[in-house]
Amino acid sequence: MLNGGVADVTGTGTMSASTMLGQGPRIADFLAPIASELAEAERIFAQELGSRHPFVQQLVDHCSAFRGKRLRPALVLLCGQAVGRLTPDHPVLAAVVEMIHTATLVHDDILDESLVRRHAATINAEWGNETAVLLGDYLFTHAFHLAASLESTLACRWIGRATNLVCEGEMNQVHHRGDLDLDESTYLDIIQGKTAELIAVSCKLGAHYAGADVETTERLERFGRDLGSAFQIADDVLDLWGEERVAGKSLGTDLFKQKLTLPVIRLLNVAPLEVRREVHGLLNQPGPETRRRLRDHLNAYKTLDYSWTIAGRFVESSLEALAILPPSQARTLLEAMARSVLRRDR
């Protein structure tokens, strides 16, 4: 368990000790002020995806179990509340971004050959890759169909652009698989595409549809982008140090798929030659013991500490972006949400 097991190696100077130790609130704690809009988004989500084919309906119902945190819908709604008033468009947009996110989860599980997500079988594990490819497509096309129910093309354009970048980021990551020379800036470029863009556009849409001006909308987009980068680094740390029982999903898939993430990149940057050679050997032939053996080296060179520092900088930057907003409950919740991002039981 991340919060307990690795607390001894954290502490970066940029984050408060209580956040580092995972004592802050969970994302669920932030949702009370937007509960009715979130429920409406759920209703729209289910209605849009309903199918006359029982098999399709079964798949849709199953993958709803994957969506535990509702991070992106919550951001659409809280960013809207932080800058103005929510409109009937907000729950629609919240459902759209969650649908896109669910599509990427279903397809990611194919790429990672994952078997478990949120304690449920993945679509590929239960029904095979073909069904998972098609269900992901179904989620993508319904998301755009739903976005097109709004009055203007703006949401379709913004979400289209963001998902274009998500796909490019993911392709870039696949391209760099097995590349032991991957540098930190390429890694950050990849995670900005594959994770941060969708979170950024969620915040941007929430702000714009609540009447925010261009500057405020851009600020909230930046908030989302930095939050998303911090979030992905924390997720990559979890893949190396977390426990599957707690995480509720397959772990170690980055190593298995020879995807280099920040702690490993850091290790290869700072360790002496003989350690680098051993790590190269482990990464070139990943097996069931790789994660455990690698972790000794990762701990010895304080790579977890370093990764938290970088994630912490993104959190700080995201908080700075919010400074433009007037004080409000929603702003406080967004700030708390950003601070909690390094908790892995959220």
Looking at the Cβ atoms of 30 and 45, the one nearer to a second copy is 45
Looking at the Cβ atoms of 36 and 129, the one nearer to a second copy is 129
CB of 233 to a second copy, least distance (A): 21
CB of 237 to a second copy, least distance (A): 23
Taking every pair of C-alpha atoms in the chain, what is the biggest distance, in angstroms?
61
Looking at the Cβ atoms of 52 and 292, the one nearer to a second copy is 52
CB 308 within 8 A of CB 20: yes
- Type of residue at 318: S
What is the residue whose two structure tokens read 């000794």? 296
Tokens of 140: 């993508």
Chain positions contacting a second copy, by CB under 8 A = 51, 53, 55-56, 59, 103, 107, 110-111, 128-131, 133-138, 140-142, 144-153, 156-157, 159-161, 163-164, 166-168, 170-172, 174-175
DSSP codes joined into one string, 286-314 = --TTHHHHHHHHHHHTTHHHHHHHHHHHH
Q: How far apart are CA 147 and CA 290, in angstroms?
A: 43
CB of 139 to a second copy, least distance (A): 9
Angle between helical axes of 184-191 and 214-241 (0-180°, round to 10): 110
**Environment class of residue 93 by beta-carbon count within 10 Å: exposed (0-12), middle (13-18) or buried (19+)?**
buried
Looking at the Cβ atoms of 3 and 64, the one nearer to a second copy is 64
Looking at the Cβ atoms of 97 and 341, the one nearer to a second copy is 97
DSSP H/E element including 121 = strand 120-121
Contacts of 326 (CB under 8 A, 6+ apart): none
CB of 61 to a second copy, least distance (A): 14
Looking at the Cβ atoms of 149 and 269, the one nearer to a second copy is 149
CB of 332 to a second copy, least distance (A): 34
Q: How far apart are CA 215 and CA 77, in angstroms?
A: 19
CB of 100 to a second copy, least distance (A): 9
